[in-house]
C-alpha cells in the first residue's frame, strides 16, 4: 500500500531559526548561482563500509586478524591465503573461506553460515549457526555449530568440540544470536558419502586447541586475553557422538531465570570434577504439551516455569550419575526448581524424550 503525504505550508521562521537553518543547509554551499544544493540524508552521513576492511586475500606466510569490535557483525571474506595464521576475534554475519592452503584460522561467533570451499590442510576453531564445506581436504576443526554441520565432496575431515575463551567472547555469542548450549559439533552430515569410505572422523579426546591453532604472535593481536584451557572454555566441552563410558545417563533441566546459565555451568563443574562426563547440552523453548511428553508425571510442576523463556538441558554419563546429580542439586541448588531424572531406569527414557523433542524443535 502506498503512503500519501499532504503538502503543508511551513510557518514563517524567526530570525534566529532562519539563521540556524541557513547554517545547516549551507555548510560548504558552493553550488553555482541558480543551482540547488542536493539535500543530505542521515544515511549519507554514515561511515562507508570498505570491503577491504573485511577481506583477507592473496596472503602468504602472514599473521593477520581483527580485534574485538572491528568486524561488528559485518560479512567477511578470506580467500587465496597460504601458510597464514588468521584470527577474527569478533562476531560476524557470514564468512566464506575459499582456496586456502595450510592456514590456521580462528573465527569468532558467526550469526549465519561459514562456508569453506576448495581448502586443504587447514586447522580451524569456528563458532557458527551453520557450517558447510565443499571440495575440501584435510580440515581439522574445533567446532561449535547450532545446526547439523554439512560436508560435501570433502575428505579427511576431523572434528572436535570448540574450546576457547577471551573476555569479549560471551557478549559476541549473544550479539550473533548463538547459545553456548547448542552445539552439534560431532553430528556431521556427509552430503556425498562414498560406499566403504568415511570422509570424516573425530579428533582425539586429548586434542589441545593450541597445538592446532596457536596463540597469535603479533603484538596487536596479543592484546586479546585468550585462554585455551578447556575448563575455561565459553562452550561446555561435550562428548557428542563419542561412545559413552557407561550405560547410565542422567538428565538435568534448568528453567529460565536470572541465573540459568550460571547454574548450568556450576552443575557441569560439579559433575565433571567428580569424573562424570557431559554428553550433550541444549537450550530450547518448551510448551506445555512438550513438558507432558518429556517430564510426564511431574510436568504440572514445571509447566508454569516455561513461560519465562528457554530451558537448558544437560546429559551426564557415568556409573552413579543419577544419584550424584540428584545429590548435587539438593546440596547446591536447594532453592532452584530443577528437573532431574529420578532413577537409572527412568533416566534413559528422560534423555531420549528430551533430545528427540529438541531435535524436532530445532529441525535436526
How confident is the model over 185-209, as pLDDT tens digits? 999 999 999 888 899 999 999 999 9
Q: 321-332 and 344-361 are packed helices; what angle lies between their axes, rounded to 10 degrees?
A: 80
> Is residue 156 pLDDT above 70, yes or no?
yes
Annotated binding residues for GTP: 112-113, 129-132
pLDDT score of 328: 96
C-alpha cell at 360: 524436532
Is the domain 52-223 a CATH 3.30.70.1380 member? no
Q: Is the pLDDT of residue 10 over 90?
A: no
DSSP state of 219: T
Q: What is the pLDDT of residue 360?
A: 83
Rounded CA-CA distance 289/293 in Å is 6
Q: What is the mean pLDDT of the chain?
A: 89
Mean pLDDT on 263-290: 96
Predicted pLDDT at 28: 44
How far apart are the C-alpha atoms of 116 and 122, rounded to whole Å? Answer: 10
The pLDDT value recorded for residue 89 is 98
pLDDT tens, position by position, 279-321: 999 999 999 999 998 998 889 999 999 999 999 999 999 999 9
How many other C-beta atoms can be found within 10 angstroms of the C-beta atom of residue 74? 17
Which run of H or of E encompasses 278? strand 277-284
Higher pLDDT, residue 117 or 358:
117
Domain 244-363 sits in which CATH superfamily?
Nucleoside diphosphate kinase-like domain (3.30.70.141)
For residues 32 and 233, which has the higher predicted lDDT (pLDDT)? 233
Q: Which residues are known binding-site members? A: 112-113, 129-132
Q: What's the pLDDT at 13? A: 46
Share of the chain above pLDDT 70, in %: 86
CA pair distance 340, 255, nearest whole angstrom: 12
pLDDT digits (tens, 9 = 90+) for 14-69: 444 444 444 444 444 455 555 566 666 655 555 577 778 899 999 999 999 999 99
Place of cell 529438541: 358
User: Which of the four pLDDT bands, split at 50, 70 and 90, describes residue 140?
Assistant: very high
What average pLDDT does range 97-114 have in this prediction? 98
Cα angle 56, 213, 177; round to 5: 70
Cell output for 352: 531420549
Phi, psi of 216, deg, nearest 5: -65, 145
Return the pLDDT at 14.
Answer: 47
Distance in angstroms (rounded) separating the CA atoms of residues 107 and 232: 18
pLDDT of residue 49: 74
The full set of domain ranges for the chain reads: 52-223, 244-363
Amino acid at each position: 500500500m502506498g503512503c500519501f503525504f499532504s503538502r503543508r505550508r511551513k510557518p514563517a521562521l524567526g530570525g534566529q531559526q532562519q539563521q540556524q537553518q541557513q547554517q545547516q543547509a549551507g555548510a560548504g554551499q558552493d553550488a553555482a548561482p541558480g543551482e540547488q544544493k542536493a539535500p543530505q540524508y542521515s544515511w549519507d552521513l554514515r561511515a562507508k563500509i570498505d570491503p577491504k576492511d573485511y577481506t583477507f586475500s592473496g596472503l602468504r606466510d602472514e599473521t593477520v586478524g581483527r580485534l574485538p569490535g572491528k568486524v561488528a557483525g559485518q560479512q567477511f571474506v578470506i580467500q587465496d591465503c597460504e601458510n597464514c595464521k588468521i584470527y577474527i576475534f569478533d562476531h560476524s554475519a557470514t564468512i566464506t573461506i575459499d582456496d586456502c592452503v595450510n592456514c590456521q584460522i580462528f573465527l569468532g561467533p558467526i550469526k549465519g553460515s561459514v562456508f569453506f570451499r576448495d581448502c586443504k590442510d587447514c586447522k580451524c576453531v569456528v563458532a557458527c549457526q551453520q557450517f558447510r564445506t565443499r571440495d575440501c581436504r584435510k580440515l581439522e576443526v574445533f567446532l561449535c555449530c547450532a545446526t547439523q554441520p554439512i560436508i560435501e565432496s570433502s575428505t579427511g575431515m576431523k572434528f572436535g568440540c570448540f574450546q576457547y575463551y577471551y573476555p569479549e567472547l560471551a557478549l559476541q555469542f549473544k550479539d550473533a544470536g548463538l547459545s553456548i548450549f547448542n552445539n552439534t559439533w560431532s553430528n556431521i552430515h556427509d552430503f556425498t558419502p562414498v560406499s566403504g569410505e568415511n570422509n570424516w572422523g573425530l579428533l582425539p579426546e586429548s586434542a589441545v586447541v593450541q597445538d592446532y591453532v596457536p596463540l597469535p604472535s603479533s603484538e596487536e593481536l596479543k592484546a586479546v586475553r585468550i585462554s585455551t584451557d578447556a575448563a575455561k572454555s565459553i562452550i561446555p566441552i561435550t562428548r557428542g557422538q563419542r561412545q559413552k563410558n557407561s550405560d547410565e545417563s542422567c538428565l538435568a533441566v534448568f528453567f529460565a531465570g536470572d541465573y540459568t546459565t550460571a547454574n548450568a555451568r556450576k552443575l557441569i563443574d560439579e559433575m565433571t570434577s567428580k569424573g562424570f562426563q557431559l554428553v550433550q547440552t541444549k537450550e530450547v523453548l518448551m510448551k506445555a504439551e512438550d513438558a507432558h511428553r518429556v517430564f510426564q508425571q511431574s510436568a504440572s510442576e514445571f509447566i508454569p516455569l516455561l513461560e519465562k523463556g528457554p530451558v537448558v538441558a544437560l546429559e551426564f554419563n557415568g556409573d552413579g550419575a543419577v544419584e550424584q546429580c540428584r545429590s548435587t542439586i539438593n546440596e547446591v541448588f536447594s532453592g532452584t526448581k530443577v528437573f532431574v531424572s529420578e532413577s537409572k531406569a527412568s533416566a534413559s527414557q528422560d534423555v531420549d524424550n528430551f533430545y528427540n523433542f529438541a531435535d524436532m524443535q530445532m529441525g535436526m
